[in-house]
Amino acid sequence: MSAFNVASSPTVAVAEASRDDLAVTTIQPRRGWQKLDLGSLWQYRDLLRYLTLRDIQVRYKQTVLGAAWAVIQPVAMMLVACVFFGRLLGVAAKVPVPYPIFFFAGMLAWNFFAGAVNASSMSLINSAQMLRKVYFPRLILPIAAIGAPAVDLVISSLVLVVLMIWYDVALSWQFMLLPLITVSIVAAVLGVGLMLAALNVAYRDFRYVVPFLLQLWFFVTPVIFPVAIVPESWQWVVHLNPMGGSIEAFRAAILGTPMDYGAWAISTAASMLLLAAGLAYFTRTERRFADVV
């Protein structure tokens, strides 16, 4: 993670003063690339907690259907996909497991990714007032925005459990890899989310880019189709997509189908690069947020 360590002088440095035990904060202009300040993130962990809780509470308080919404939406998507892609386009024949469960497992991971990217890319401009009026580590906002989509993920995976029982899919040991796979998806979310959040502050037109980008991304990611339908010599391109190998791995871990570790590794590496780039851009531009937002 040295990509974003190309810092010039450390800037808002907090050092212990020997004279009277009070921390001294130095305020001066920051220029260029910045070091990632994990210490201040830790110091503000309670804010991260309450912002995450706020998003979750607000999400489930406001809608009449509440948690049901996290179930209805992917189920409806599944039904439509089964008819059009599974049956009419014949994708079901190229999948080793029943198409509904194949699609639903991929959809779970994708919905989390898309929801979290969307929420974190809007997090800064949605909290413009906070940015203008209070100091806190800016990274907290896009990170906290991931909480509500994560809860959605947990709720909609209940449907998956029902589907697995219905189709009699047994858990394999690969299921234990799920937390690791989730980490690589979260890395991709943060990479894209941080970058878009910072760009959104500077250039308001990015607000319109995000849904479009996610839509395109959906079609190049193996959610409705298996990677197997891509010619073998071109599959590496799919895996360069940070979500490509990860979604396949996510699905394999749940359904117990053969796991392509190489593909997952390539996607994870791509996610980590994205995360490094996102963090670098975010920490470089965050000093201007309050002036511009």
Partner 1 sequence: MTTAAIQARNLSKSYRLGSATSFGSTLRETLADATRRWFKQDANPTNGSKKDDTFYALRDVSFDIERGQVVGIIGHNGAGKSTLLKLLARITDPTEGRAEVRGRIASLLEVGTGFHPELSGRENIYLNGAILGMTRDEIRSSLDAIIDFSGIEKFLDTPVKRYSSGMTVRLAFAIAAHLRPEILLVDEVLAVGDVAFQKKCLGKMQDVVHDEGRTVLFVSHNMDSIRALCSQVMVLDHGKSIGCVPVDEGVRAYYHAMAEHEHLPLSQRPRARRCSHAPVFHALRMHTDQGETHVVACGGTLNIDLDLANLGDVTRGECALSIRNEHGQRVVMFQSQYHADLVLTGLSSTILRCTIPNLILAPGTYSIDLVLADQPEIIDTIERAATFEVVFADLFGTGKIPDATQGHVVMPCQWKLAA
Nearer to partner 1, 59 or 239 (CB): 59
- What contacts 223, CB < 8 A, 6 or more positions away? 103, 106, 107, 110, 247
Q: Which is nearer to partner 1, 207 or 272 (CB)?
A: 207
Q: Which stretch binds partner 1 (CB under 8 A): 213-221, 232-240, 257-265, 282-290?
A: 282-290
Q: Taking CB under 8 A as the rule, which mask of x and - marks residues 60-79 in contact with partner 1?
A: -xx-----------------
CB of 119 to partner 1, least distance (A): 15
187 binds partner 1 (CB under 8 A): no
- Least distance (Å) from partner 1 to the CB of residue 184? 30
Q: Pick from 149, 143, 124, 118: which is nearest to 215 by CA?
A: 118
Measured in degrees and rounded to the nearest 5, phi and psi for residue 11 equal -110, -80
User: From the CB of 46, what's the least distance to partner 1, in Å?
Assistant: 5
CB 36 within 8 A of CB 2: no
Q: Which residues of 179-203 are buried (b: 16+ CB within 10 A; e: fewer)?
A: eebbebbbbbbbbbbbbbbbbbbee
Among 18, 29, 168, 173, binds partner 1 (CB under 8 A): 29
The residue among 151 and 273 lying less far from partner 1, judged by its C-beta, is 151
Closest by alpha carbon to 40, among 23, 59, 19? 23
Contact indicator for 94, 229 with CB cutoff of 8 Å: yes
Binding mask 135-164 for partner 1 (x = CB under 8 A): xx----------------------------
Q: Token digits for 199?
A: 């760009």
Note whether 16 binds partner 1 by CB under 8 A. Answer: no
Interface size with partner 1, residues (CB under 8 A): 44
Site pattern 108..127 for partner 1 (x: CB under 8 A) = -------------------x
Residue 18 within binding range of partner 1, rule CB under 8 A:
no
Question: Among 165, 173, 205, 232, which residue interacts with partner 1 (rule: CB under 8 A)?
Answer: 205
- Residues within window 41-60 making contact with partner 1, judged by CB under 8 A: 44, 46-47, 49-51, 53-54, 57-58
Q: Which residue is listed with tokens 């799919």?
A: 238
What is the Cα–Cα distance from 104 to 166, expressed in whole angstroms? 13
CA atoms within 13 A of residue 169's CA, in its CB half-sphere: 25
d(CA 179, CA 202): 34
Contact between 282 and partner 1 by CB under 8 A: the answer reads no
Distance CA 58, CA 142 (A): 16
Radius of gyration of the chain (CA): 21
Contact positions toward partner 1, by CB under 8 A?
12, 17, 19-20, 22-30, 44, 46-47, 49-51, 53-54, 57-58, 61-62, 127, 129-136, 202-206, 287-288, 290-292
